[in-house]
Structure 1
């Protein structure tokens, strides 16, 4: 039997110890690496969360900045609109001030006769008023007063160019003084007299009998001869209706005269004349009524003054030329 080498046992123990030491070192390094990787992962996650929070904060800040920018843009637009309105108002005020200044200069300028221009305006207004009062209302006295006041105002204008205008106004005033009463009033008065003078049912027949020969008057008490084609109303109801129609036509004629409608006036009197033929037979009294109706139809309803309004037209043309 061989004895073991005393030098080999220690060498084997040192090899196992080195191996174990190496394993311990590797295990320590693995643990350290694992802890390091875990710490790095936690730090990376924290940094990512921090970056995400910062990004969210930046986005919120950008949204707030965008909202403020939009609000600022709206305020700037409103300010621009306000400035535009104010600028236009200032321009308008400047224009109105310039117009007022020009008007004041015209009134203060002795060459433009500002006060005389006011007199001419009042003269034109009075002439137009007088013309309308005469044409619409038939107020001849009112028209004469308006023309008299217009002549007084025109005398206060010391302009030699108005000499022809003064002469025209004088001629027009003379024509107004030469006019008589309102023809419409005369026509209405004659119409009222005609309506009041209408005879009763038997008045015309009695007049006809009075002018007939004695033998006709004698026989008329027994029998009355009348043409079969005559349109005389004999029934009392028909006569009342015909009389009412005649009075209605006279009323329509009166309304036409009030509004100076010559065509309606003529038509109403023509229809009234037809109702005369319906109510009464041919007789001297009916002929008198027909003659009065014809005279009424020929009466004018408005004044005929060819020179009326000449002064106003001449004044307007003179002011337009200036």
Structure 2
């Protein structure tokens, strides 16, 4: 009899232990597998929830940013509307103020007790006197200033007030001083300059003593070929140089006319000096040349603007009277005899 046959119980016990151990291992493996699968499921669910939460947060942030942009746009629209309303309100207020001023001006003009026509005459006289002064100072327009002074005198003559007597006398003196000027200084100087420019081509090109003295026969024979001149004579005789000098002289004359037109005394005198320097280089010494240079000296010394000490005195006195509160009395024919003597502020 063998050992296996003699000991059957221990072998069965070993097999049962083995099966129990295998079963336990299987149960543990199944439990681990289920735990790992559950953990993976929970992890995937958590990741899905986190991703969904991130998407919701991004959408929420985008919506908040959209709401902020809309809010800024609405705020800008409100500010623009407020500015437009403020501008419209200012314009309405300005229109109201202008309407009130117009009503006040119309009421002042239509009210005979204030006698607004005389105040308007004073305004017109002041404007005419200012225009006359500007014409003389800026453009040297003596004729225009005379007309403006004549209109101002006619305007002041329509105001019957003894307090304007001194003003009218000063205006008469100023008009007499302007009438004594004759033509405008610029016009007279322009005429003299044109007369001088017209005499230039007629200046003799040979010295006067050379034409007066008889020349020797050999000089008369060689005259078509050779022109004999003293060495001290600096007159330009070469045709190209002479043509260039005459062109330069015409340019200087144009510059003198332009300076005279704009009232530039320094430029006018400088142009005349350059003209005077060109004359002895283009023409020899002769009485007409000396006379022309004397004319240039006379033109250089003449003023371009009228020098009147009384110029603007009428305008200054009128402004002083108005700033001192000059009031024009209403003529007696305008109001009734029982009414008091009103006064008007112009």
Structural mapping, 1:90-239, within 5 Å: 99-100=101-102, 102-103=104-105, 106-107=108-109, 112-199=114-201, 203-212=204-213, 214=214, 217-218=215-216, 221=220, 224-227=228-231, 231-239=234-242
- Cα distance in 2 for partners of 1:84, 1:275 equals 71
Instruction: Evaluate the alpha carbon distance shift between residue 226 and residue 161 of structure 1 in structure 2; reply closer, same or farther with a 3 A threshold.
Output: same
- Cα distance in 1 for partners of 2:302, 2:113 equals 52
Residue 147 of structure 2 aligns to a residue whose secondary structure is helix
TM-score, length-normalised on structure 2? Answer: 0.59
Instruction: Evaluate the alpha carbon distance shift between residue 87 and residue 232 of structure 1 in structure 2; reply closer, same or farther with a 3 A threshold.
Output: closer
Residue 241 of structure 1 aligns to a residue whose secondary structure is helix
Q: Which has the higher helix share?
A: 1
Query: Are the equivalent residues in 2 in contact too, given 1:256–1:265 (CA < 8 A)?
Result: yes
Any unmatched runs of 5+ in structure 2? 1-70, 326-346
The one of 293, 296, 300 aligned to 2:296: 293
- Cα distance in 2 for partners of 1:119, 1:102 equals 18
Deviation at 1:115, TM superposition (A): 1.8
- Cα distance in 2 for partners of 1:90, 1:138 equals 46
Query: Are the equivalent residues in 2 in contact too, given 1:204–1:286 (CA < 8 A)?
Result: no
Other-structure match for 1:259: 262
Other-structure match for 2:323: 320
Other-structure match for 1:12: none
1:202-259 Cα offsets, whole Å, 9 max, x none, are x2315241345x5xx338646734336x542232100110111111111111122222
- Cα distance in 2 for partners of 1:83, 1:260 equals 53
Report which structure shows greater RCO (CA 8 Å, sep ≥6).
2
Deviation at 1:90, TM superposition (A): 7.3
- Cα distance in 2 for partners of 1:94, 1:287 equals 74
Any unmatched runs of 5+ in structure 1? 1-69
Instruction: Evaluate the alpha carbon distance shift between residue 91 and residue 207 of structure 1 in structure 2; reply closer, same or farther with a 3 A threshold.
Output: closer
1:69-100 Cα offsets, whole Å, 9 max, x none, are x9xxx9xx99x969988887776666556545
Deviation at 1:119, TM superposition (A): 0.7
- Cα distance in 1 for partners of 2:277, 2:88 equals 77
Aligned-CA RMSD value: 3.5
Bigger radius of gyration? 1
Deviation at 1:306, TM superposition (A): 2.2
Deviation at 1:139, TM superposition (A): 4.1
Other-structure match for 1:21: none
Instruction: Evaluate the alpha carbon distance shift between residue 231 and residue 112 of structure 1 in structure 2; reply closer, same or farther with a 3 A threshold.
Output: farther
- Cα distance in 2 for partners of 1:279, 1:86 equals 74
Query: Are the equivalent residues in 1 in contact too, given 2:124–2:152 (CA < 8 A)?
Result: yes
